[in-house]
Amino acid sequence: MVKAPTEHLKIFPERAPEVVRPEVEDVESLAQVLRDFRESTGWSLRYDTGLEPTPSESLTWSTPVNPGAGATPGHLSLHEVESGPGRVESMPVESAKKLAAGLGDMLAELLHIQHLLWQREAELAAGVPLICTNENEAHLAARLEAVLKGGAEAVGAHAAALYLLDEATSELKMRSCWGLPRRRLAEPARPLQGALADLEALLGHAVVLEDVRVMQYWNVPEDFASAVCIPVASPTMILGTLWVFCKRKRDFDDRQTNVLEMVAGRLAADLEREMLIREGVDGAILKRQVAAAERLQRGGLPSISPLLAGWDVAGWAAQAHNVGGNFFDWFSLPDGLLAATLGDAMDKGIEAALSAATAKSSLRSHAQYQRDPARLLQQVNLTLWTGSAGDQSANLFCGLIETANGQAHFASAGQLGVILIRPDGWESLSQPSQAAGQGPQVAYEPQHYELQPGEALVVFSDGVRDALDHKDEPLGEAGLGGPLAEKAHLPADELLALARDRLEAHAVSPQSSDRSILVVKRAAP
């Protein structure tokens, strides 16, 4: 392979933009302030741009005025005023310095604010809400072709083409062209490997080929006498290359190359705009759907305690994100039974919400005929296992309470916390087991306890039990059991509020996990 003669190749490296220094002329009142300073103090105060003040025999003192943000500072300098008619008596030099230093600080702060405003306005321009208006707007294909035509004609070229990278960054496909047959758009993509001009351009350089016939080494995609290859990229993404072709051998000077770089920037802006509009529309739709799912999930939680004499129930669930996998539920069954459930899906976000919805509906459905909590959980486990690809699992609690005599029959799957609150203390009833949905055949241990008047059963998810403080110590069952036992006389909703307060006081970031608490209390006579 013969390397092309270097006298026919020009590469223009991309230069980083220089930091823009705030213009002191933007401070319109500065000139008047300097005049007033002279008339009031008898000293001349001047503003000089640059790193050093302008040398002068009358220079007495100077201070830098630094607008910050990497900008070049200017200087305020104090000068003696030559004697003459109308000259006022000068104040002491130290007083003039103090006043000038104060003005310098104010000017620096003002320039800094102006510089920040200049930056923020540009950032806000990129954050303008997207409104998709298709009426009277040319299709993207027409806009791209118009930009290619305008750029090519501006530099006296005869054709232009836009090539974009595929997702694997292994091929370049022509996506738009001008001056070329449109059937070229149907041709296969060019492999990036071996496309040396494109590779050089993708590094950020403009490649100018004055005589293509002696420069076959660069693999020009079209049969023209001369060509230019320009990178098409946004500040965060490399999109592809812009090729501009000419029928005769010729050079492209710096001005023409700069024009083509602006054309490439316009192409990148149009492409990114189209992608942002699509993502913005899709994102807005998704946001509305998530908000609707959040309302649906929150609205599906019971808010009124069942009207059963002598029983008080309260629950709370909070998700780490808009939607999540924690829930609580209660409902009445025939023969005076009260069903109370709590769940914690072992996923995050939308996936957890879907798993939680399946688990919650399964608990309600199977509870209509199954009166044994352990067997009920086995049925729910089988539903989760057979109804998914094995990726839906949840920690679940199910309790069936005979409201006539206080007999509580319950079982749990997974790592939930279950504690008994009595006026004289508390007791852990937790029995860790395999989470529901992780296997087709799982046996859960049934538990029985007769709740006495004034006693409460408190169930909570691992997001509550495992919440860490600043010493990485978990809240644990004792973190709730002790404080709740001291207030065992309170109704269920106040016990629930106390448990939430303990969680908030203990945990450094309680919102990092989904959380839920369920309180079932047999009221004192």
In this structure, of 123-127, 220-224, 249-253, 495-499, the range with the lowest mean pLDDT score is 123-127
φ/ψ of 21, rounded to 5, equals: -90, 135
Name the strand (E) or helix (H) holding 374: helix 373-386
Take residue 265 and report the two structure tokens written for it: 């920037």
φ/ψ of 285, rounded to 5, equals: -65, -45
Q: What is the mean pLDDT of residues 327-339?
A: 93
Per-residue model confidence (pLDDT) at position 382: 92
Per-residue model confidence (pLDDT) at position 29: 83
How many Cα atoms occupy the beta-carbon half-sphere of 260 within 13 Å? 32
Sign of the CA dihedral 128, 134, 140, 144? negative
Place of tokens 């309790």: 399
pLDDT value at 140 more than 50: yes
Domains detected in the chain: 24-126 (no CATH), 140-277 (3.30.450.40), 300-522 (3.60.40.10)
Per-residue model confidence (pLDDT) at position 484: 95
Cβ(449)–Cβ(408) below 8 Å: yes
Per-residue model confidence (pLDDT) at position 120: 65
Per-residue model confidence (pLDDT) at position 344: 95
Rounded Cα gap, residues 11 and 392, in angstroms: 57
CB atoms inside a 10 Å sphere around CB 370: 18
Confidence label for 121 from pLDDT (cuts 50, 70 and 90)? low
In this structure, of 129-133, 293-297, 309-313, 428-432, the range with the lowest mean pLDDT score is 129-133
Per-residue model confidence (pLDDT) at position 137: 47
Take residue 12 and report the two structure tokens written for it: 């223009």
Per-residue model confidence (pLDDT) at position 285: 80
The percent of residues in the chain predicted with pLDDT above 90, rounded, is 49
Confidence label for 489 from pLDDT (cuts 50, 70 and 90)? very high
pLDDT value at 473 more than 60: yes
Q: What is the mean pLDDT of residues 479-486?
A: 94
Sign of the CA dihedral 175, 179, 182, 184? negative
CB atoms inside a 10 Å sphere around CB 283: 12
Q: What is the C-alpha radius of gyration for the chain, rounded to an integer number of angstroms? A: 37
Rounded Cα gap, residues 4 and 7, in angstroms: 9
Per-residue model confidence (pLDDT) at position 23: 57
Q: What is the mean pLDDT of residues 8-14?
A: 58
Rounded Cα gap, residues 360 and 348, in angstroms: 16
pLDDT value at 280 more than 80: no
- DSSP three-state, residue 446: coil
pTM check: above 0.75? no
Per-residue model confidence (pLDDT) at position 224: 93
Per-residue model confidence (pLDDT) at position 480: 94
Take residue 210 and report the two structure tokens written for it: 């004055």
Going by their DSSP bridges, the two strands 447-450 and 425-428 should be labelled as: unpaired
Cross-strand partners of 183: none
Confidence label for 479 from pLDDT (cuts 50, 70 and 90)? very high
Confidence label for 316 from pLDDT (cuts 50, 70 and 90)? very high
pLDDT value at 126 more than 80: no
Rounded Cα gap, residues 325 and 359, in angstroms: 10
Going by their DSSP bridges, the two strands 394-402 and 407-413 should be labelled as: antiparallel
Give the chain's mean pLDDT: 85
pLDDT value at 32 more than 90: no
Per-residue model confidence (pLDDT) at position 1: 29
Confidence label for 136 from pLDDT (cuts 50, 70 and 90)? very low
Q: What is the DSSP string of 64-103?
A: EE---TTPPPEEEEEEEPPP-TTPPPPPPHHHHHHHHHHH
- DSSP three-state, residue 457: strand
Please give the sequence-ordered ranges of beta strands (E in DSSP) within 404-500, or none if there are none. 407-413, 417-422, 425-428, 447-450, 456-460
pLDDT value at 161 more than 70: yes
pLDDT value at 10 more than 80: no
Per-residue model confidence (pLDDT) at position 123: 57
Per-residue model confidence (pLDDT) at position 430: 94
Per-residue model confidence (pLDDT) at position 499: 95
Q: What is the mean pLDDT of residues 220-240?
A: 90
Which tens digits make up the pLDDT trace of 73-113? 677 888 888 776 666 778 888 888 888 888 888 888 888 78
**Mean pLDDT comparison of 283-297, 346-360, 445-459, highest-scoring range:** 445-459
The percent of residues in the chain predicted with pLDDT above 70, rounded, is 87
